[in-house]
Amino acid sequence: MPVKRLAAAKSRLRGALPGVPHEELALALSADTVRAALACPAVGRVLVVTDDPRVAATVTAAGAAVTADAGAGLNAAFRHGATAAGPRAAVAGVTADLPALRPGELAAALRATEGVRGFVADAPGGGTVLLAAPAGVPLAPRFGPGSAGAHAASGALPLSGDWPSLRRDVDTAADLSAAARLGVGPRTGALLASTGDPVRYGAGMQGTVATYDASTRSGVLLLDDGTELAFPARAFDASGLRLLRLGQRLRVERDAAGEVVRVTLPTMA
């Protein structure tokens, strides 16, 4: 997973979140992508190719490995990461701008590539979010404009699974809004919440009720990335709901500090 230096990353997103430093948004996108990949049961190791010290520190703390980026471009970074994984490893190159990524969708896509070199196109269809190759087969990345067509022309198998969170890469402000509607990871979610724009970015994360205590009006949600998130009584009180049942689907809203302030049904405004 290559990640550029934050000052140069995601240039088309610059200014997308008023009041939020661009480097913080770029870091949040990659951190949430790494977090979801680490939670994927089909992933043995996450290797981030970067020469940005903040990125390296953040993803290392999360449990990923880091290798230096030689600065020769995106495809060179993917090739370097694949080489570093070793000749006996099946590898997958994933873009670092998938803040809504669900571990289950990533696992399904990786299972679909077992034994074949295959790729997953982005939501618009022209780009690529994932390229995988079995052990002993070169990854041969062709990321960049028109990469889906380039990967298909190179012999990679296009994969057509229903994986909206995997396909939702973020290059523009409109992409970020679309990712928010799917439900983004905690770091990106906190930045979106800090904008105070509930119409555009209010979708937040989603999960299911794992525990709920009616006497304390608090409980725990199992988020879509497999982690647990406790919510306090005030978040339930702000929901407008009378009770919760185990397994119920909820949307999470956070404040600028990342604290849960409201849980609601996904269909509620």
Residue 73 predicted with pLDDT over 60 = yes
- Cβ atoms of 211 and 229 within 8 Å: the answer is no
Considering only 15-24, 116-125, 226-235, which range has the smallest mean pLDDT?
Answer: 226-235
- 77-124 tens-digit pLDDT: 999 999 999 888 999 999 999 999 999 999 999 999 999 999 999 999
pLDDT of residue 260: 80
What pLDDT is attached to residue 146? 97
Which residues have a Cβ under 8 Å from the Cβ of 117 and sit 6 or more positions away? 131, 132, 133, 134, 137, 139, 140, 155, 156, 157
Torsion of CA 95, 160, 39, 176, to 10 degrees: 50
Instruction: Using CB atoms within 10 Å of the CB of residue 123, give its burial: 0 to 12 exposed, 13 to 18 middle, 19+ buried.
Output: middle
Residue carrying the six token digits 């979801």: 36
Q: State the pLDDT at residue 113.
A: 94
Report the chain's mean pLDDT, rounded to a whole number.
Answer: 90
The length of the chain, given as a count of residues: 269
Q: HEC states along 28-51?
A: HHHHHHHHHHHCCCCCCCCEEECC
Residue 225 predicted with pLDDT over 70: no
Distance from the Cα of residue 171 to its chain's centroid: 13
Residues 204-216 pLDDT 10s = 567 899 999 999 9
Paired tokens of 228 = 């647990």
Lowest mean pLDDT among 128-132, 151-155, 255-259: 255-259
**Domains of the chain, CATH where assigned:** 6-196 (3.90.550.10), 206-264 (2.40.50)
Residue with tokens 């983004």: 184
Can you tell me the mean pLDDT for 70-75?
A: 91
Check pLDDT > 60 for residue 230.
yes
Kindly tell me if the per-residue pLDDT of 19 is higher than 90: no
pLDDT band at 174 (very low <50, low <70, confident <90, very high): confident
Whole-prediction pTM? 0.76
pLDDT at 199: 42
Q: Are 234 and 262 in contact (CB under 8 A)?
A: no
When pLDDT is cut at 50, 70 and 90, the band that residue 203 belongs to is: very low
The yes-or-no verdict on residue 183 having pLDDT over 90 is no
Look at residue 2 in the predicted model and tell me its pLDDT: 97
The whole-number average pLDDT for the span 119-130 is 97
pLDDT at residue 255 in the model: 62
